[in-house]
Amino acid sequence: MKLARGPYRPYISQNVLSQLLTERISKVDYFFASMLFLSFLVRQYLKFDELLGPSDSESDILKALDHYKRNEFFLSTSPPLGIQFLYALSNVCGGVSIKLLRRVSVSTGSLTISLIYLSLRKSKVSRIISLAISFMFSHLPLFEDEARSASLNILEMMFLSLTLFAWFSFEQAQSFTKGWLSKLIILGLSIGFLISTKTIGFITWLWIIILCLKQMWDIIGDLRFSNKEILYHGFLRFIALILMPLMIFTSSYYHHISISCNHSQVFSSFMSPYFKANLLPESLPPPDIVYYGSSVLIRHQKSLAGYLHSHNYTYRGGSQEQQVTLYDYANDADNEWIIEPENEDKASVNGTLREPIPVKNKEFIKLRHRVSGKLLRSSNAKPPVSEQDYDKEVACTGDSEYKGNADELWRIKFIRGKTGYRESLSPVIIEFQLENKGQGCTLLSHDLRLPDWGFEQQEVLCVDPPTLERTLFYVERSNLYSKPGAFLRYPREWSVIRFAKLFVEYLLKQIKYDYYVKNYKQTGDVPVERWIWFTHTTNFENMLWLSPLLCSLFFVLVVLHDLTTWNPWSPSNEVISCNKYLYKENCMKSFLGWLLHYHIFTKSKHENLYLVQYLPSYLLSLFLAAHSLNFLWCHGRFSALISASILCFMLCVCMLRL
């Protein structure tokens, strides 16, 4: 391949891939893709066990579909498009059943195999190698088992393979032609479907963006492109690869939030009062002002649900008083507290009740647990989990007749929110701190949970000095109204602004629900650190699993060799090998994709990860192996013989397994 000539040195032009990747998908390729589809479909149907009950992941899908059927609000650990697709399909087919969902998964897996083959052909991998690699992936037991179960992972793999096919098609298209534009749109659509099905799709999106930035770098460095053409390239990529996926992603959430309009006893508790005000049936809004004597629900602003809670169980150590925690569910009588003034004179005169008196900023108050009658207090005792010198225990003490002392007095200090009620406490709007008078510390909670004896509820403690964000509370509900109609009113908003607020809150709650509730203390089948070199039960599986890893290691050695032998002062070659260039270019892309898709799991906040989640990374490493074999196949007779021998060995093992 001859390089383009620049004023100082030769350079690789931007359209070199469109010149080299001229592989067209022929009728023979579509025939092989169809055969791969049918062979996988038939093999998996023959292995079906109709009597097998649903697994945990299948039960989660069935529950989500049931929520959709009842228009009931729920939080999931994945974006909603996959469930929406299955729900729409089940409506067309007459109802939800595990049998239907498994058949859909098998069909999706079969389509994935066909798309893998076509993607390899688009990237100029020879037909025999593409066929062999696709055939071997279809015999990977991990993929087969997942395809026979109702799974969003298989739907994700289909959209990933579609993204790969669209990317390789886009790479070889001539700029600004109808084919180029249509392939760019298909690429944007496939990314949008992927990120709306599984969260790992955002890593694929990041990978594609990095590849596009590399393309733009090459375009900017190509002297034949004018500034106007460079701007067009950047603008069209931004529309198709940034805005279009975001539109699909937000549309799926808009549909999800719109139809999930009914309250759920479990999931509604996690959401803010603003969000719950948009659910049905509408609940009675809280009063505009909180008064002394009110029975209130107090929530921690930074927690998922975070209802200030106490129950009739004591700490194992410390003061051994009644436990105070944060609880995840709203409808519990142990969440209710009565706000009392520092002096009883505020509430009555000679035993006669006064008019309701608002709770004011910087006043000292008492919080009496409504069920037990005990007062909230802080003491010098150490909290049960946190062990810092400045950490102090928070508990409930006394009884309904106990009046308390300085340790039971809390200064309420408004931090955020404004009302028109002259420093009066308003529900929802005002976020406040509670400072203990006796101990000089501030009430606080964090994500640490109590042991089993504390029912694994969130720890509440008193700290000085505290972290501001962890000290903020607000009143969600209050039962005392000064007069009829004196309730809190949310301001009118444009529907777009309202959806934006609901959308952002749902995303944040979804992330926290994933690691803090759904996957809390759960562990997967294989630790993430062992995914790459995990040893299976059979030699066949080990061969399929480790072969791409060996090719990746070989590619790393090639890159290291190039770096150590590079001489920047040597004259530039005007001709380079097409096969070597394609090998390094495609392997670098696949290696980067494999690394990104694997590395993100090492940053997970929970350990409930399964080996099947490595499949996207494995597929990209398999593409690297395919390009390595293709390089040997095209490099020369001896290299082709080595490549053919490897392929024959792998195919024979696959056939023997059948």
The tokens of 394 are what? 């928070």
Place 347 in a pLDDT band, splitting at 50, 70 and 90.
Answer: low
- Tell me the DSSP string of 533-577: T---SSHHHHHHHHHHHHHHHHHHHHHHHHHHH--TTSPPPSB--
Write down the pLDDT at residue 444: 96
Query: Are 435 and 442 a contacting pair, CB within 8 Å?
Result: yes
Query: Are 58 and 139 a contacting pair, CB within 8 Å?
Result: no
Report domain extents, the chain: 27-47+64-259+522-657, 286-488
Query: Are 417 and 401 a contacting pair, CB within 8 Å?
Result: no
Q: Look at the block and give the residue holding tokens 């909290």.
A: 383
Indicate if the pLDDT at residue 351 is higher than 50. Answer: no
Query: Tens digits of per-residue pLDDT, 136-160?
Result: 899 999 999 999 999 999 999 999 9
In the predicted model, what is the mean pLDDT of residues 260-287?
90
Cα of 608 vs its chain's centroid, Å: 13
Write down the pLDDT at residue 389: 78
Give ∠ CA 22-23-25 in degrees, rounded to 5: 135
Nearest-angstrom CA–CA distance, 402 and 436: 18
In the predicted model, what is the mean pLDDT of residues 306-322?
94
Nearest-angstrom CA–CA distance, 45 and 110: 11
- The residues near 359 (Cβ < 8 Å, ≥ 6 apart) are 289, 290, 291, 292, 339, 365, 412, 424, 425
Nearest to 597 by CA among 151, 249, 199, 83: 199
Cα of 485 vs its chain's centroid, Å: 42
Chain mean pLDDT for the chain: 89
How many residues are present in the chain?
658
The tokens of 500 are what? 């934006």
Write down the pLDDT at residue 343: 85
Indicate if the pLDDT at residue 352 is higher than 50. Answer: no
Within 13 Å and on the Cβ side, how many CA atoms surround 81? 24
Three-class DSSP labels, 414-480: EEECCCCCCCECCCCCCEEEEEECCCCCEEEEEEEECCHHHCCCEEEEEECCCCHHHHCEEEEEECC
Query: Are 64 and 42 a contacting pair, CB within 8 Å?
Result: no
Place 569 in a pLDDT band, splitting at 50, 70 and 90.
Answer: confident
Place 13 in a pLDDT band, splitting at 50, 70 and 90.
Answer: low
Higher confidence at residue 579 or residue 176? 176
pTM over 0.75: yes
- The residues near 216 (Cβ < 8 Å, ≥ 6 apart) are 230, 233, 234, 237
Query: Tens digits of per-residue pLDDT, 433-488?
Result: 999 999 999 999 999 999 999 999 999 999 998 999 999 999 999 999 888 778 88
For 381, which DSSP code? S
Nearest-angstrom CA–CA distance, 77 and 81: 12
Task: Tell me whether residue 229 is exposed, middle or buried, using C-beta atoms within 10 angstroms of its C-beta: 0 to 12, 13 to 18, 19 or more.
Answer: middle
Query: Are 613 and 153 a contacting pair, CB within 8 Å?
Result: yes
In the predicted model, what is the mean pLDDT of residues 194-222?
94
In the predicted model, what is the mean pLDDT of residues 171-176?
87
Indicate if the pLDDT at residue 349 is higher than 50. Answer: no
Within 13 Å and on the Cβ side, how many CA atoms surround 345? 1
Place 643 in a pLDDT band, splitting at 50, 70 and 90.
Answer: low
Cis peptide before 281 (omega within 30 of 0): yes
In the predicted model, what is the mean pLDDT of residues 20-25?
69
Write down the pLDDT at residue 561: 85
Instruction: Name the CATH topology of 286-488.
Output: Trefoil (Acidic Fibroblast Growth Factor, subunit A) (2.80.10)
SS3 (DSSP) at 339 = strand
53-57, 250-254, 626-630: which is most confident: 250-254
Higher confidence at residue 319 or residue 51? 319
In the predicted model, what is the mean pLDDT of residues 635-640?
54
Query: Are 123 and 518 a contacting pair, CB within 8 Å?
Result: no
Write down the pLDDT at residue 81: 97
Query: Are 231 and 248 a contacting pair, CB within 8 Å?
Result: no
Write down the pLDDT at residue 9: 61
Task: Tell me whether residue 401 is exposed, middle or buried, using C-beta atoms within 10 angstroms of its C-beta: 0 to 12, 13 to 18, 19 or more.
Answer: exposed
Nearest to 611 by CA among 518, 562, 557, 545: 545
Query: Tens digits of per-residue pLDDT, 66-123?
Result: 999 999 999 999 999 999 999 999 999 988 899 999 999 999 999 999 999 999 999 8
Write down the pLDDT at residue 504: 97
Indicate if the pLDDT at residue 167 is higher than 50. Answer: yes
Nearest to 430 by CA among 360, 492, 375, 339: 360
Query: Are 121 and 25 a contacting pair, CB within 8 Å?
Result: yes
Write down the pLDDT at residue 124: 87
Write down the pLDDT at residue 629: 87
CA distances from residue 287 to 54, 123, 426, 473 in whole angstroms, order as listed? 47, 65, 8, 17
